[in-house]
Amino acid sequence: PRLVYALISGFGRMPGLETKYSGRPAFDIVAEAMSGVMDLIGFEDRPPTYTLYGLADVYSGLVGAYGILQALFMREHTGEGQMVDVSLLDNMLALNERMVALYSVSGNEPIRGRLEHQWPRGAYRCSDGYVALNVPDDGIWARLATTVGRPDLIDDPRSVTGTARASNAEFLQPIIEAWLADKTRAEAVDTLNAAGMPTGPVYTARDVFDDEHFQTRGMLAEVDDPEVGPYAFARTVPHLSKVSQIPLEPSPALGAHTREVLEGILGHTHEDVDELVRCGVVGVS
């Protein structure tokens, strides 16, 4: 009765919450598609596209771990375990909360590649790559307009509000592009951040590995796998003040902990487990 166990599936496995999709197989891209996420990725005049490869899978792993911790915490108070039901589709819909809220409140559907009440937001070219800009309100717009040498655009009817800027993006876009054209990413980022305009460079994989920030933060964790050797992998988050470093052992082989669980935790004898292995009930590495 104290057992806590988790099931990660495409569409959910909780008794009483089954749907006609429950028995279907799923990839991450299926969850992205059915949650409405894919419909918002890309450009208005092009087909929907996927996000990060495996996003739904990785995020569902984090949600699964979070759910297990919740269940363990509840067990400390109630003495009872429970099932943790983790659905790829549920998780992607939860990430797409803005779409849900917009449609629920206004009946409007967001349009792929076009923001109707906010601008600019996106990647803008510099002399050596791209920087990411986002102007969520009129105060940030005033800082950007001043920085690019066009303070007149703060009160211009064509750009005074987010809706106006979105409607007149074709007029405003060349102004920002021209200001960035002869600047490096570093110059643009430093100038805009100093003006109170949060900005960052659009990194490639090489950029990530070259930036000492990720090294200092320990986000590129080197794991020495006995089969393939040492390679860097993205560290699991978050950082905890009482646990400054996470274990860097490689992933366990299939069945690596069978005896530890069955013998050390559940009290079976070594001979019991040998018989289970012989019958094909469990496996050991």
Strand partners, 83: 5
Q: Exposed, middle or buried: residue 233 (CB in 10 Å: 0-12, 13-18, 19+)?
A: middle
Q: Exposed, middle or buried: residue 144 (CB in 10 Å: 0-12, 13-18, 19+)?
A: buried
Tokens 């050991």, residue? Answer: 284
Question: Of 28, 57, 85, 128, which is the active-site residue?
Answer: 57
Q: Exposed, middle or buried: residue 86 (CB in 10 Å: 0-12, 13-18, 19+)?
A: buried
SS3 6: strand
Tokens 């978050």, residue? Answer: 238
Instruction: Determine the Cα–Cα distance for residues 223 and 182; give it in Å rounded to an integer.
Output: 41
DSSP 112: T
57 given a catalytic annotation: yes
Q: Residues near 49 by Cβ (< 8 Å), separated by ≥ 6?
A: 38, 41, 42
Query: Which of the residues are catalytic?
Result: 57
